[in-house]
Structure 1
Amino acid sequence: MNGICTLANDRVYDQLIALLNSIESVMGKTMPVCIYPFDDQCDRIRLAIRDRPSVTLYDDQDSIQRWDSFMQRIAPERLNQKNRLYGAHRRFCAFDGPFDRFVYMDADTLAMSPLDRVFQMLDKFDWVVYDYQFLDPSKIYNVNSSSLYDVFSDERIRSEVFCSGFFAAKRGLFGAEQRETLIAQLRAGDINILYEGAGEQPVLNYMVMRSGLKSCNLGSYLPSEESTGCSVTSKHFEERNHILYDRGTRLTYLHYIGVKPQLMEQVCLGENVSFPYRNLFLYYRFLHQPQKCPVFMEPPSPDGKSYSPGFVKKVLKKLKLGQSK
């Protein structure tokens, strides 16, 4: 069975709802989705998916503990941020999860196309991605380390690295024996070739490349006239009927990379803050509640500050009080 996976907790609730609605919109209500819990803060998510029979919250504690332990053994410092478990690595539970083949999508993405072609690529490859992280491998590996090139060739580094926000793979990858091999190699010194500032992403890249999986990046695999961008940092996408196109070609997904969850929550609450493709995000976030979607009559403040309707009323009230004195 094919399915889509994501990773979330209540902190990214608005992003998750937008993602689920976009999947439903472009792939139908029956597309199975499995949510992996970033941590234990998932009460709002549980309530939200009660009326979504195709969506499940992963609860295999053995699997979750297995991957927690994996990260703790290779890189305990990558797990601790402000004295709490850093749970981004729990996307690895997809290798144990309910789907024979799956596409993992970060919660801060929107589906723009059906994923049939991505799933079909798994007939030829073990691992399929669609991004342009290979243009900047310095966020994956310590490119200044001479040891790096003893492990991977420069050609592989410049062509195989990927963003962990979107990938397709198969259940059963990285079994017990393979995990132990990877742990031994990392603890023997390979951990030093990884970029230190990006949590699970360098680890996953290392796992795929060190294991010799047959991988494909659609960003470089597809002909130039068929490939598209995927990031909100690209400002030239054209929107038609709530779908984005890049030079006339429909995007596969849009990644709101770099847009903080707090910002998306603020705009959902009616604060007039700006980020790329904001209206598209709001459309999917409130797809089933259009009456609750904020409507902004004024552009965001040019100084970058946000002003909610309530805040504006308070300011006006103070001004009137000041004038009366």
Structure 2
Amino acid sequence: MSRGIYITANDRVMDQAIALLNSLRLYDPDTPIMLIPYDDNYQAIAQLLAQAYGVQVYPDLDFIHRIADNLHAIFGGEFFARPNQFRKQACWFGPFDEFLYIDTDIVVFEKIIDNLNYLADYDFLCCDYQHAGGITNVFTPKVLETGVFSEATLKDMFNGGFWASKKGLLSEEDLYETFRECAAHPDYFDFSQKTSDQPIINYMILQRVARRFNIVRRPGKAPGNWAGSPQFQQEGHRLVDPNLGQPLQYLHWAGIRIEPGCPYWEVWEYHRNLNSSVPAYQPKPRPKESLWQQFKRSLKSRF
């Protein structure tokens, strides 16, 4: 039984990927990690991650392109803000029998692969409090009004940046059938804040995978992990949730630009700089705001 971790990335997110890989290798030097290219601009990051961390590139790039082409054929070009996020669905068909998918805007604080031990009793894992915020960024009230999902089922919603499952649990046709169902009912999904794959993968898992488990529901609960949560306390280079008295398993800057002054910047910066064999971190200047963007920001500050 092989276990491994998948990430998606391209050359633009080099610094985030380095911070993630530094944190993964800090606690786990051995678990294989595989890069699913986000687009065709991945040669530099693939070379660096291979040399510094032993990361391999997904072996069947033709399959990844086939998923992308069929996705476009089903949905067209205007349905999603970032359709390439769907490339992570290649996880179901890669070499690992059990796998963990992790977004690059994450750092971990433990040997994170050990969470796959829950797969002895379940087929799909997540670990977040996405459900506690309601159905925003995933579904619209239409899924309740039409009976697509019950309120109980919607309590199993999850963030698409961290999840685990088993190879072959879903078929390629299962993916395309899900895409077709979703394309026929765009009113089911909340894309108002430019999420892309999260609503669709939630629909697929809630419809097709019965044995689901959210790790935050373990006995004694588990801490939160969103960098937008202000209550976490720093202990050394890790974080603790004071409400539970537990260390965080990982921290996710979902929807937050990682830059000096962002929440828990020191934690990210520490992990980015752990490995002296990779290029030193060079902060990138913020893109210059247009006059329209400055005007919108000034309006927000008044209300």
TM-score (norm 2): 0.83
Aligned with 1:160: secondary structure? coil
In structure 2, the partner of 1:17 is 18
Partners of 1:20 and 1:8 lie apart in 2 by 12
Matched position secondary structure for 2:51? coil
Q: How many residues align?
A: 278
Deviation at 1:240, TM superposition (A): 2.8
Match for 1:284: what amino acid?
H
Deviation at 1:252, TM superposition (A): 1.2
The partner residue of 1:227 within 214, 222, 231 is 222
| Selected match of 1:104 from 88, 101, 105 | 101
Match of 1:34 in 2: 34
CA–CA distance in 2 between the matches of 1:180 and 1:51? Answer: 36
Once the two structures are superposed, residues 42-78 of structure 1 have per-residue CA deviations (whole angstroms, 9 ceiling, x without a partner) of 1320231232363112241232023213422442245
Which amino acid is the alignment partner of residue 240 of structure 2? Y
Alignment of structure 1 residues 1-325 onto 2, 5 Å: 1-28=2-29, 30-52=30-52, 54-77=54-77, 81=81, 86-135=83-132, 136-143=134-141, 145=142, 149-157=146-154, 159-187=155-183, 189-196=184-191, 197-219=194-216, 221-223=217-219, 225-247=220-242, 248-260=245-257, 263-264=258-259, 273-289=260-276, 292=280
Amino acid at match of 1:4: I
1:109 & 1:241 partners in 2: Cα distance? 18
Instruction: Name the CA distance, whole Å, in 1 between partners of 2:98 and 2:274.
Output: 28
Q: 1:148 to 1:20 in 2, by over 3 A?
A: farther
Deviation at 1:277, TM superposition (A): 1.1
Higher Cα Rg, which structure: 1
Letter in 1 for 2:36: Y
Spell out, residue by residue over 1:98-154, the C-alpha distance to the aligned partner (whole angstroms, 9 max, x if none): 2111111100000111125420111111110011111221210112x2675421112
Say whether the 8 Å CA contact 1:74–1:186 is kept in structure 2.
no
Q: Would you say the 8 A contact 1:160–1:217 is kept in 2? A: yes
Cα 1:192/1:77, change in 2 over 3 Å = farther
Structure 1: gaps spanning 5 or more residues:
265-272, 296-304, 307-325
Deviations 1:288-309 (A, max 9, x none): 13994689xxxxxxxxx98xxx
- Secondary structure of the corresponding residue to residue 139 of structure 1: coil
CA, structure 1 residues 180+231, in 2 after alignment: closer, same or farther (shift >3 Å)?
closer
Q: Quick check: 244-253 or 282-291, which moved more?
A: 282-291
The alpha-carbon distance between structure 1 residues 166 and 134, as it changes in their structure 2 partners (threshold 3 A), is same
C-alpha separation in 2, matches of 1:168 and 1:146:
25
The structural deviation recorded for 1:230 is 0.3
Percent identity over the alignment is: 27
